[in-house]
Amino acid sequence: MVHPVYADLPTTIFEEMSGLARQLGAINLGQGFPDDAGPMALRQKAGEALITGTNQYPPMRGLPALRQAVAAHYGRTQRLDLDWESEIVVTSGATEALAAAFLSLISPGDEVVLFQPLYDAYLPMVKRAGGVPKLVRLTPPHWRFDRAMLEAAFSDRTRMVVLNTPLNPAGVITPDEDLALLAEFCVSHDAIAVCDEVWEAVVFDDRQHRPLISYPGMRDRCVKIGSAGKMFGMTGWKVGFLCAAPTLTKALAGAHQFLTFTTPPNLQEAVAFGLENPGDWFEAMPTGLQRSRDRLATGLRDAGFAVLDSGGTYFLNVDLTASGIDEDDRTFALRAVRDHGVASIPVSAFYAEDPVRHILRLCFAKADETLDEAVKRLAEARG
Picked from ligand GLN, ligand PMP, none, the partner binding residue 14 (CB below 5 to 8 A depending on kind) is ligand GLN
State the binding partner of 229 from ligand GLN, ligand PMP, none, CB within 5 to 8 A by kind.
ligand PMP
CB neighbour class for 118 (10 Å; exposed up to 12, middle 13-18, buried from 19): buried
Q: How many residues bind ligand PMP (CB under 6 A)?
A: 14
Alpha helices in 130-257 (DSSP H): 147-153, 176-188, 228-231, 246-256
Q: Which of 198, 201, 231, 356 binds ligand PMP (CB under 6 A)?
A: 198
How do strand 240-243 and strand 222-227 relate by DSSP bridges? antiparallel
List the interface residues with ligand PMP, window 29-48 (CB under 6 A): 32
CA pseudo-torsion sign 168, 170, 176, 177: negative
Closest to ligand PMP by CB, 185 or 237: 237
CB of 155 to ligand PMP, least distance (A): 26
- Note whether 229 binds ligand PMP by CB under 6 A: yes
- Nearer to ligand GLN among residue 169 and residue 299 (C-beta): 169
Q: Which is nearer to ligand GLN, 163 or 253 (CB)?
A: 163
Residues 75-114, interacting with ligand PMP (CB under 6 A): 93-95
Q: Which does 346 bind (CB under 5 to 8 A by kind): ligand PMP, ligand GLN, none?
A: none
Q: Does residue 136 contact residue 182 with C-beta atoms inside 8 Å? A: no
Question: Which CB, 96 or 111, lies closer to ligand GLN?
Answer: 96
62 contacts: CB under 8 Å, gap ≥ 6: 88, 89, 90, 262, 263, 268
The residue among 31 and 104 lying less far from ligand GLN, judged by its C-beta, is 31
Is 28 one of the binding residues for ligand PMP (CB under 6 A)?
no
Backbone angles phi, psi at 115, to 5 degrees: -100, 130
Q: Which residues contact 145 (CB under 8 A, 6 or more apart)?
A: 115, 136, 138, 178, 181, 182
Decide whether 143 or 215 has the Cβ nearer to ligand GLN.
143
H/E stretch holding 98 reads: helix 93-105
Omega before residue 117 within 30° of 0, cis:
yes
Residues at the site binding ligand GLN, with contacts judged by CB under 6 A: 14, 31-32, 168
Check binding of 196 to ligand PMP (CB under 6 A).
yes
- As measured in angstroms, the least distance from the Cβ of 14 to ligand GLN is 3
252 CB burial (10 A radius; 0-12, 13-18, 19+): buried
Site residues, ligand PMP (CB under 6 A): 32, 93-95, 119, 164, 168, 196, 198, 227, 229, 235, 238, 240
